[in-house]
Structure 1
Amino acid sequence: MNKRIVHDALILTAFTLVLGFILALVQGITAEPIDKANKAAAQKAYQAVFSDAKSFEKYDYDADEADKLVSDAGYKDTIDDIETALDSNKEALGYVITVTAKDGSQGSITFSVGIKNDGTVNGYSITSISETPGLGMKAEEADFYKQFENKKVDKFDVVKTTPSKDDEIEAITGSTITSKAMANGCNAAITYFQNKLQGGAN
């Protein structure tokens, strides 16, 4: 009986080790392509919000300080990455701030916001979203996202009627939650920019 138990235990252990090896091998094979795809998607987003930039350079920032700054301003969002947008002479044109909005209707939304040195918002480009098709997913459509482009504002406000001011964004019909998530994410980026980047990086 004891020999049988030992035998079964050895087989189970061997099976577990082999399975672990296979999983590690698969992870190793897929990790690099996934990483490359993520980096390519990020670069595409940077270029989308700063089309005149020739290159982008990672900006070193304090993530905890950024989160506190954003939280103190009343936003739940996080600053995930900051890139300096550079021209052909390596002069800074502005910044690309990648934000994760925590309050989408179906979860988090990650997107990059381009902001020029003078504070003008170029717009945003989404890299991760899982909102409801036909509703929240319209955040990816031009009718909505173009409302954020070329706006120099302190913050965006979502309204349910036709906007009458530059800082007003007309909500997606039936998806006010997603609309506010996008506006708040942009506001988080603006908040960080105004406090830490405007007038030259601190």
Structure 2
Amino acid sequence: MNKKIVHDALILTAFTLVIGLILGIVYGITKGPIDEANKKAAQTAYQAVFADASTFEAYTDFDAAQAEELMTENGYSDEIDDVQVAEDASGNPLGYVITVTAKDGSQANITFSVGIANDGTVNGYSITSISETPGLGDKAKTEEFSGQFAGKQVDAFSVVKSAPASDSEIEAISGATITSKAMTNGVNACITYFQNVLEGGAN
């Protein structure tokens, strides 16, 4: 009986080692292409919110812990993931691209990049990850909704269910108020980060 247990244990151990080796090899093969695809998706998102930028450089003073503390202090559950400096062909900073993960979507987290010019004007946002309900929450990807943020210079946006009466008001997606608020809170989180850390030309 004991010999059988030992035998079975050895087989299981060998099987586990082989599976681990195979997974390690697969990871090594796929990691490069996956990283490249993620990088390309990020660059596409950056360009979408800063069409006149020639390059994007990582904001060297980005501190994730500081960003988390700032979000908490201001009542946001959102997470600032990354900050890029948008530069023109001469290397002059045009503004920033702030990537945020909104954690209050109706289905799951939503990750998107927000462009904010040096003067605080929001250029818009570009979504890189969303799992909201098709035909409802995923309308956050449409120009009809996202375009409401573009070209606005406000301290914060709010969601309304009727036609906006001011630049700071965003009309909710019909049937998807939760998603609308999640996107708006995410943009507001980026504005807050900009105003507290980047405004004035920090680089």
Structure-2 residue corresponding to 1:43 = 43
Mean CA deviation greater in 127-136 or 23-32: 23-32
Number of residue pairs matched by the alignment:
202
Structure-2 residue corresponding to 1:9 = 9
CA deviation after TM superposition for structure 1 residue 132, in Å: 0.4
The yes-or-no answer on 1:195 pairing with 2:196 is yes
CA deviation after TM superposition for structure 1 residue 74, in Å: 1.8
Counterpart of 2:148 in 1: which secondary structure? helix
Structure-2 residue corresponding to 1:175 = 176
Q: What TM-score results when the alignment is normalised by the length of structure 1?
A: 0.97
RMSD: 1.1
CA deviation after TM superposition for structure 1 residue 67, in Å: 1.4
CA deviation after TM superposition for structure 1 residue 24, in Å: 1.0
Structure-2 residue corresponding to 1:163 = 164
Per-residue CA deviation, residues 21-52 of structure 1 (Å, 9 max, x unaligned), is 11111111111111111111000000000000
Q: Which amino acid aligns with 1:145?
A: S
Partners of 1:126 and 1:7 in 2: CA distance: 53
The yes-or-no answer on 1:94 pairing with 2:99 is no
Counterparts of residues 1-202 of structure 1 (less than 5 Å): 1-60=1-60, 61-201=62-202
Partners of 1:114 and 1:196 in 2: CA distance: 15
- Structure 1 residues not aligned, in runs of 5+: none
Mean CA deviation greater in 71-80 or 83-92: 71-80
Mean CA deviation greater in 106-115 or 69-78: 69-78
CA deviation after TM superposition for structure 1 residue 8, in Å: 2.4
Q: What TM-score results when the alignment is normalised by the length of structure 2?
A: 0.96
CA deviation after TM superposition for structure 1 residue 198, in Å: 0.9
Counterpart of 1:104 in 2: which secondary structure? coil
Q: Which amino acid aligns with 1:144?
A: F
Partners of 2:15 and 2:71 in 1: CA distance: 49
Task: Give 4+ residue runs of structure 1 displaced > 4 Å after superposition.
Answer: none
CA deviation after TM superposition for structure 1 residue 96, in Å: 0.2
Partners of 1:160 and 1:2 in 2: CA distance: 71
